[in-house]
Every structure is written in C-alpha cells, then in structure tokens.
Amino acid sequence: MGTSGLICAFLLASCCCCRRVAGVPGEAEKPAPELLEVEVGGTALLKCGPSHSQSNFSHVDWFSVSAPEEGSRGGRQRPRPSRSPRTLTSSPQVHKEKPTLIFRVRQGQGQSEPGEYQHRLHLQDKGTTLALTHITPHDERIFLCQGKRPRSQEHRVQLRVYKAPEEPTIQVNPLGISVNSEEPEEVATCVGRNGYPLPQVIWYKNGRPLKEEKNRVQIQSFQIVESSGLYTLQSVLKAQLAKEDKDAQFYCELSYRLPSGNHMKESPEVMVPVFYPAERVWLEVEPEGMLKEGDRVEIRCLADGNPPPHFSISKQNLSTKEMEEESTDDNGILVLEPAQKEHSGLYECQGLDLETTVSLLSDQQELLVNYVSDVRVSPAAPESQEGSSLTLTCEAESNQDLEFQWLREKTGKVLERGPVLQLRNLKREEGGGYRCVASAPSVPGLNRTQLVNVAIFGSPWMTLRERKIRVKENTMLNLSCEASGHPRPSIIWNVDGTASEQDQDPQTVLSILSVLVTPELLETGAKCVASNPLGENVTSIILELDSNRTNSLSTSTFSPPARANSTSTERKLPEPESKGVVIVAVTVCVLVLAVLGAVLYFFYKKGKLPCGRSGKQEITLPPSRKSEFVVEVKSDKLPEEMGLLQGSNGDKRAPGDQVRMIKYC
C-alpha cells in the first residue's frame, strides 16, 4: 500500500473513532442507574438527579421501565439456594419494553397519568422528589426522569424491593427411615413463605451445616411465586442415615437480605424416626432392689433395635428345668401382682425381629421374692384359769433371718421381744387378743402377724350392776347390756321386746333390746341376765319418767358406759328454786310489817292502845271486829326496818319496846 493509501486508512479510522465517541443520540453507553432499596409496604423517594444537582425541575416527566435494562440485574447480589430452585408457578415473561409515562411536573405542579401508579405518586421537596407509596415486589424496576429545561437531561433510578420471609416451618417424615435403605430418603421439608427476593436455605444436623453428597445427602428446593409477587421457598432434605443418627437433630436456616443488612431465621429442631435391627436383648425388673411378697413387680424385655422386636418371657420349671413361656400383656411385660414366693426363679427373654426374622435370646436372670409365711402361735386357742400362768410360742417360715415380738391387741403395747411370751398370775382383765409379729430386718417392710385370743375361765362379768335411765312414756327405747366371760355368756331379758346380739370379741357379747316405754315397764324396770356354765350375773335398769321430754313417739338408745365391775347408781339432782319468787315474798312481808307498825304507833300516840311494855295488852276494837284474829308479832327486823316504827317526834324505840303481841279482843 502506498503513502496515499495509508493516509486514507488513517482518516477512515479517525472518522470511525469520532463517531464512536460523539455517538449517535441514544447509542452512547448510559451511566449505571442510581440504586434505591425499599422494603415491601414502605415508600420510595425517587429523586430526579443527584442531591447536589442545581438543575431546574419545574418541567419534568417520569417514566417507568417494566424490565431492567441489560446488565442492570447483574449488580444485585441475590442469595441462591444450594441448588437452583425450580419455579412451580411461572412468572410473566421478561422482555425489554419502552418507558411508560407515569407522572408530569409542570411549573412545580404534579399530575399522575392513568395506570397502576395513578394513586400512589405525589411530589415532595418542592418538586425535586417523587414519592411512591405502598411498595410491592411488582415495583422492582427502573424509573426514568427526563427534564426539558434549561437543556434536555435524564436520570435513572433502579428500585430494589425486599421482604423478610416468615418464620420457617419444618415437617419431619413421620414414616421414618430405615438404615437398610439403598438410596437417600426424605428426612424433612422446610418451608419459608412470603419472602423477597428468594432466600437461601441451609440444612443442619446436630448444629453442623449439611452439604450435598452423591448418594448420601440431597437437597431439592422449589420456589412458588405468589400472586403478591412474593416467593415461597420449599426445600426437601434427603439422606441416608445410620443407627448413630437415631438421636440426631435436624433444622433449616433461611438467609435473606434487607436494606439494613443480612439476616437469618431458623426452624425448630426435629428428630426423624430411624429404624435399625436389634443386636442385643436383655431383661429389666422393677422395682429395683430387694423384693418382697405383696409387691407389684414388672419384668420387661428391652432391645437396642427400633422398632423393638416381638418379645416373649419364659421361666424355668423347677421340676423339669425347662424354660416355659409366661403370659404377658400386649407390651410384652410380665406383671406379678401381688408377688409371691412361688414367683422366684430364673427368667429369660426372647426377641424376634419380624422384618429380618432374626431371633435373639437374653441372658438368664434370677428373680428372688423374699417372704415370711405360715406364722403360727401355739397353743392355737389358749385358755387358762384366773391366777394361773400361760406360755405362748410363735413360729414362722422365711428365706431371711426373722425377729419376733408380742403386742397387746387392745393397746398395741409391745410386751415381749422374742418368739416366747410368758403370762403369769393371770387376771380376768388380761384375757383377749395377743398378736405375734414376725419380721425380716434385712428386707424393709417384710413382716407377717398372727392374732390369738387368750380365754380366762370365769362366770359372766357385767359392765354395770345397775343403771338409771330417764325416759318418756310412749317412746321406743333401745336398752343395751354387755357381758364377758369364758365360756362365752348368753344374755336374756326379763321384758318382752326385740333383742339382737353382737360379738365384741370371742369372750364378750353385747345385747340390744328395743322396747316401748309403758307404765308397766316404768314400774318394773328391766333386767338382763348373762349366764354361762360357771355362773350368771345381772344388770338392773331403772326407768324414771322425765317430764321435760316431749310426748311424741321417739326412739332412744342407751349404750353402756366404760366397763366397770362396781355398782353404778344415778340420782336426780334437785332443781334450783326460783330466786325471783323468794325476793318478791320477802319484799311484801317487809311492807306489810311496816304498815302494821305505823298503825299501831298511831293508836299508841292517841292513847287508844293500852298495851304496855310488859307485853300482852288488849286493844279495844269496834264490836263488829271483835271476832277477828289478832296476830302476835315478834320483831327480828333489821335496823332498816326499825326505822318504820319510830315515833313522830323522832325518838327511837328499842326492839324490846316494839309491839310484842296483839291478842284477840
């Protein structure tokens, strides 16, 4: 090529470079849009230019671009799941569209264009800022601002929308996973709802993150686009598990970003049932420790497999030495209630895995039920004469060393420690129950007792010799009579009625007679006679009429008091006199004497009373009254009463000078 050719080529290259620099309008590379991040529901403040711009914003048009321009999404760092999520509900097809006018600004006044933004846009900051309220995921796009004066200018804002997902939920596989599975099986499903953009999911086992491993761990994630534009993420964890994973804790974590930074939310921990065959079977007995007769004992089989195999429990036959299967409940538990000494022996458990048909046998275990039995007292029916002696001996059987003690049945007092009880110089009161207690100190709570009644020969012994009872006529009355003795006495009554007997102990009987209180019964009373081959005794019951009782027909029961062998009588206490009546009588007497003294003194002063100090004088009365009685009054009055008999001149008379007697005239 010649010189002219080189010059021509240089000029052509220069022209191309000039065109590439100057550019055709609309073809020059545009600056990156301003990034604006807002949470769903918030307000986006769109500014028409940098904050330091001095441009005139009185004539501005705002546009929205449905799809971001090429390369505009590349600058956003979206978290991604471990595997690319598969969309279940397809989103609208993304393609480049022309800007759509949404708002006009003329002379500082704004006007919305009809459309989706018509009611959510308004001006702020003297027209320099356009506020977009109630942000949704559909608002994530580029907004374009074009100014006309003083010269044509353009500013782009890339709006990014964020929404934190709800708390993740996790659902474990309820059917469980077998360790014999050849492929990964579903462990659990994690769901994070209503987030934007799509969050990232991370699975954990025992606090450590899980990563996908071929034929060991798989994580499958799916995304669902809701009508609101929010995402719901569903992630499924599949894995092959081993026996060691039977107690493993699984959970999922959602990682997401907000304008404030990165955040995360965790689901609850779950455990998946892991099935594995048993390798060992053994026996367990409850309660632990030494067992005794009467306890509730459970013998159960245990195995280290899941699910447990089918169990059966066998006990060795002492005669044949063969193991014989015992009857158990639905859970394979043998319950001994109450446990007896016959339950002692060797036990073993057999477990059959129904899936693998493998049978496992446990080691034999000896069960020992401690016992105390056959407590015997000799003589079995002891009896003796009053004043003599008696020896009681106690025996028992046990697999443990025994201790004996004797107690009085009535009082519970310990009389003797040892198998022999000596009773000397017996009295009638010492008859009755004696209890032998045989216990094994090495086994707490293991004891047995035997009660024996000692009979003392004697005639009947009555509780009371005599009783007095207040009754009301025409009432039903229950009379009681108690007697003791050996041989056992019988009781009869001397009056008609309905009688019943109750045995208080082998030597004591209580008889109750129901009778109607009649005048004849009140007069004769009642008697009960107790008799045995050695004699008889009587209790007399005296009935007294009680006027304070009501006349209605009623039933009263009179039980015997505490036993005594002395005569008991009851007497009626006199009722207290009325003190009010006595006071009134005394007051009236004092007033009468005072008036009589005044009259006599009046007659004396008038000279009509010829009686002197010597005592007895006759008083002259009218003829019509001569036949009346005149009473002699001797004064024993108190000094206060003497004042009523003073003379009119105030002179006091001695008691001897008072009226001594008034005789008939």
Over residues 356-385, the pLDDT tens digits come to 888 999 999 999 999 999 999 999 999 999
152 plus 39 within the same structural domain:
yes
Rounded to an integer, what distance in angstroms lies between the CA atom of residue 196 and that of residue 41?
12
* pLDDT value for 594: 83
Q: What is the mean pLDDT of the chain?
A: 79
Residues 255 and 356 in one domain: no
Give the whole-number percent of the chain exceeding pLDDT 90: 54
Give the number of C-alpha atoms closer than 13 A to the C-alpha of residue 392, restricted to the C-beta side.
32
Query: Within this chain, do residues 42 and 156 fall inside the same structural domain, yes or no?
Result: yes
Position 598 scores a pLDDT of 80
The rounded distance, in Å, linking the Cα atoms of 526 and 466 is: 10
What is the pLDDT at residue 593?
84
- Of 241, 256, 275, the last residue of a domain is 275
Q: What is the pLDDT of residue 356?
A: 80
Q: Exposure string (b/e) for 458-497, b if CB count within 10 Å is 16 or more?
A: bbbbbbbebbebbbbeebebbbbbbbbbbbbbebebebeb
Whole-number percent of the chain with pLDDT over 70: 74
State both tokens at 302. 């245990």
Cα 232 to chain center, whole Å? 44
* Listed residue (352, 355, 366, 361) closest to 281, CA to CA: 361
CA distance 69 to 276: 57
Would the pLDDT of 235 be above 60? yes
Tell me the three state secondary structure of residue 415.
Answer: strand
Say whether both 363 and 450 belong to one domain. no
| Total number of residues shown for the chain | 665
Please indicate, yes or no, whether residues 156 and 58 belong to a single structural domain of this protein: yes
* Mean pLDDT of the region 35-46: 95
Considering 403-407, 408-412, 501-505, the range whose residues carry the highest mean pLDDT is 403-407
pLDDT at residue 337 above 70?
A: yes
The range of the structural domain enclosing residue 473 comes to 461-545
The CATH number for 387's domain is 2.60.40.10
User: pLDDT of 438-453, one tens digit each?
Assistant: 999 999 999 999 999 9
SS3 470: strand
Residue 256: which of 203, 214, 196 has the closest Cα? 196
How many domains does the chain contain in total? Answer: 5
**Which pTM does this prediction carry?**
0.54
Q: Give, for 271, the enclosing helix (H) or strand (E).
A: none
For residue 210, being part of any structural domain is answered with yes
As a whole number, mean pLDDT of residues 1-27 equals: 39
**Is the same domain home to 438 and 473?**
no
| Residue 382 included in any domain | yes
In a domain, residue 472? The reply is: yes
- Whole-number pLDDT of residue 334: 94
pLDDT at residue 661 greater than cutoff 70: no
Which of 354, 370, 386 lies at the terminal end of a domain, its last residue?
A: 370
- Examine the pLDDT at 223 and tell me if it is beyond 70: yes
Q: Does a structural domain hold residue 386?
A: yes
Higher pLDDT, 430 or 551: 430
pLDDT band at 98; cut points 50, 70, 90: confident
pLDDT digits (tens, 9 = 90+) for 580-622: 544 667 687 788 888 888 877 776 666 655 544 433 333 333 3
Half-sphere exposure of 501 (CA within 13 A, CB side): 17
- pLDDT tens readout for residues 179-222: 989 899 999 999 999 999 999 999 999 999 999 998 899 999 99
Q: Does residue 339 belong to any structural domain of this protein?
A: yes
Model confidence at 548, in pLDDT bands (50, 70, 90)?
low
3-class secondary-structure state, position 53: coil
Residue 17 has pLDDT above 70, yes or no: no
490 within 8 A of 455, measured Cβ to Cβ: no
Based on the fold, state whether residues 193 and 264 are members of the same structural domain. yes
User: How does DSSP assign 187-225, residue by residue?
Assistant: EEEEEEEEEBSPPEEEEEETTEE---BTTTEEEEEEEEE
Residue type, 573: L
Are 109 and 157 found together in one domain? Answer: yes
Residues 146 and 207 in one domain: no
Mean pLDDT value across residues 130-144: 94
Give all strands of the β-sheet with 109-112 in edge-to-edge order: 34-39, 153-162, 142-147, 59-65, 100-106, 109-112
Segment among 83-92, 412-421, 426-435 with least mean pLDDT: 83-92
In a domain, residue 109? The reply is yes
| DSSP β-bridge partners for residue 263 | 256
As a whole number of angstroms, the distance between CA 127 and CA 242 comes to 67
In a domain, 9, yes or no: no
- Is 568's pLDDT higher than 70? no
Boundary of a domain, candidates 347, 370, 393: 370
| Same domain for 213 and 137 | no
Residues 158 and 44 placed together within one structural domain of the fold:
yes
Based on its alpha-carbon atoms, the radius of gyration of the chain, rounded to whole angstroms, reads: 61
Q: What is the pLDDT of residues 611-651, one digit of tens each?
A: 444 333 333 333 333 333 333 333 343 333 333 333 333 44
592 falls within a domain: no
Q: Is the pLDDT of residue 332 over 60?
A: yes
- Amino acid code (one letter) for 335: V
> One-letter amino acid identity for 27?
E
418 and 474 in one domain?
no
